[in-house]
Amino acid sequence: MSDLRITEAFLYMDYLCFRALCCKGPPPARPEYDLVCIGLTGSGKTSLLSKLCSESPENVVSTTGFSIKAVPFQNAILNVKELGGADNIRKYWSRYYQGSQGVIFVLDSASSEDDLETARNELHSALQHPQLCTLPFLILANHQDKPAARSVQEMYFTLLQFNLGETMRGSGSLFSTE
95-147: pLDDT as tens digits: 999 999 999 999 999 999 999 999 999 998 999 999 999 999 999 999 989 99
- Where residue 23 falls among pLDDT bands split at 50, 70, 90? low
- Where residue 79 falls among pLDDT bands split at 50, 70, 90? very high
Q: Is the pLDDT of residue 4 over 50?
A: no
Kindly report the pTM of this predicted structure.
0.77
Radius of gyration of the chain (CA): 21
Q: Annotated binding residues for GTP, as ranges?
A: 39-46, 85, 142-145
- Where residue 170 falls among pLDDT bands split at 50, 70, 90? very low
Q: What is the DSSP string of 101-155?
A: SEEEEEEETT--HHHHHHHHHHHHHHHH-TTTTTS-EEEEEE-TTSTTPPPHHHH
Task: Quote the CA–CA distance of 105 and 127 in Å, as a whole number.
Answer: 10
Q: Is the pLDDT of residue 177 over 80?
A: no
Q: What average pLDDT score do residues 9-14 get?
A: 54
Q: Is the pLDDT of residue 164 over 70?
A: no
Q: Which domains does the chain have, with CATH numbers?
A: 1-27 (no CATH), 31-176 (3.40.50.300)
Q: Annotated binding residues, as ranges?
A: 39-46, 63, 85, 142-145
Q: Annotated binding residues for Mg(2+), as ranges?
A: 46, 63
DSSP H or E stretch at residue 156: helix 152-161
Average pLDDT over the chain reads: 81
Q: Using alpha carbons, select from 136, 120, 99 the residue that is nearest to residue 43.
A: 120
What is the number of other CB atoms lying within 10 angstroms of the CB of residue 106?
A: 27
Q: Tell me the residue length of the chain.
A: 178
> Would you state the torsion angle of the CA atoms of residues 119, 124, 127, 131, taken in this order, to the nearest 10 degrees?
-90
- Where residue 169 falls among pLDDT bands split at 50, 70, 90? very low
